[in-house]
Chains A and B, each alone.
Chain A
Amino acid sequence: MQSDVNSVATEQGSEFRKLENGPPNYSEYVVPSFNTDFEWTDFPLAVPNSEVRVHLHHNGTNNEGGKLATVFSMEDIVKTVGFYKEKSVANLGNLMKAGGNISNILVSRRGLYALRVNDTQKALDFYDAMTDPSLKNSEGQTFQEFVLKSFEREVIKKTQLQCGSCTEEQEEALFELNFTNFFKTLDSGLSLFVSLSTDFNGDFIWVFLTN
Chain B
Amino acid sequence: MNIKILIIAFLISCGAYSQETIVPLENLLGYESEQNEVVYFKDVNNLLNKYTGNWIYDDGTHYLKITVTKKEHLPQDFFGKLLNPNYEDNLSIKMIYKLNGVEQYNTTSFGATTALINGNVIESTNKISLEYYEPTSSCRRQKHANLTLEFNPSNTLGGNGTLGWTRTSRISYVSPNTECPDGTLVDSSDFIIPANLVLSRE
Contact = CB atoms under 8 A, between A and B. Distances in A.
B9 interface: no
Contacts of B129: 157
A49 B146 CA distance: 41
A140 interface: yes
Interface string B36-53: 000000000000000000
B4 interface: no
Interface in A117-172: 129, 131-133, 136-150, 152-154, 157-158, 161-162
B114 A139 contact: yes
A112 B76 CA distance: 32
A8 to B, nearest CB: 16
Interface residues of A, number: 45
Contacts, number: 88
Nearest to A66: B171
B81 A144 contact: no
A74 interface: yes
Interface string B17-46: 000000000001110000000000000000
B171 A42 contact: no
Contact of B172 (A39, A146, A187): A39
A128 to B, nearest CB: 9
B181 A185 contact: no
A185 B173 contact: no
Contact of B175 (A40, A148, A150): A40
A154 B74 CA distance: 17
Interface in A64-84: 64, 66-69, 73-76
Contact of B113 (A132, A139, A143): A139
B173 A152 contact: no
Nearest to B141: A145
A133 B139 contact: yes
A33 interface: no
A62 interface: yes
Contact of A152 (B78, B146, B175, B177): B146
Interface in B92-133: 110-111, 113-115, 118-119, 121, 129, 131, 133
Given A144-B140, A157-B29, A137 B174 contact: no
A150 B121 contact: no
Nearest to A74: B173
Given A145-B131, A161-B30, A39 B171 contact: yes
A37 interface: yes
A150 B131 CA distance: 10
B173 A62 contact: no
A194 B35 CA distance: 25
Contacts of A131: 181
List 9 tightest A-B contacts by C-beta distance, closest first: A140-B114, A133-B139, A73-B173, A75-B173, A40-B175, A150-B83, A161-B29, A66-B171, A139-B113
Interface of B: 28-30, 74-79, 81-84, 110-111, 113-115, 118-119, 121, 129, 131, 133, 139-140, 144, 146, 168-175, 177, 180-181
Given A133-B180, A185-B84, 6 more contacts: A39-B172, A67-B171, A133-B181, A140-B110, A140-B114, A157-B121
